[in-house]
């Protein structure tokens, strides 16, 4: 998944996490663990979300969920690319 996101959202990992319904204390812990290294923070966020850890929300762990979170967070072209690649409708 991290390869698909192509690091385009690393700087906005917290916002992305919010759209995945990850709770703020989880994101604070991720930030602290990684000393604010945004790439490492994004990777750990995705790992925790995919593992369905406590505090990471109850959204389905699907490409549709990821694409919709990307669309709300970042560059529209990335969301469109992922939607096309993984067969997700954005509308």
pLDDT of residue 43: 94
Tell me, yes or no, whether 91 lies in a domain.
Answer: no
Tell me, yes or no, whether 49 lies in a domain.
Answer: yes
Tell me, yes or no, whether 45 lies in a domain.
Answer: yes
Per residue of the chain (91 residues), give pLDDT as tens. 777 776 888 999 999 999 999 999 999 999 999 998 999 999 999 999 999 999 999 999 999 999 999 999 987 789 999 999 999 998 7
Query: For the chain, what is the domain count?
Result: 1
> Contact at 8 Å (CB) between 23 and 55?
yes
Residue corresponding to tokens 């945004």? 38
Q: Residue 53 sits in a domain of what CATH number? A: 1.10.533
Full domain range(s) for residue 42: 2-86
pLDDT of residue 3: 76
pLDDT of residue 36: 83
Radius of gyration of the chain (CA): 12
Tell me, yes or no, whether 42 lies in a domain.
Answer: yes
């Amino acid at each position: 998944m991290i390869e698909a996101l192509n690091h385009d959202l690393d700087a906005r990992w917290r916002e992305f996490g919010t759209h995945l319904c990850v709770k703020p204390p989880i994101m604070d812990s991720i930030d602290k663990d990684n000393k604010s290294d945004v790439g490492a923070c994004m990777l750990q966020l995705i790992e925790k979300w995919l593992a369905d850890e406590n505090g990471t929300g109850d959204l389905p762990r699907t490409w549709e969920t990821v694409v919709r979170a990307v669309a709300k967070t970042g560059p529209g072209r990335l969301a469109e690319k992922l939607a096309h690649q993984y067969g997700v409708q954005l509308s």
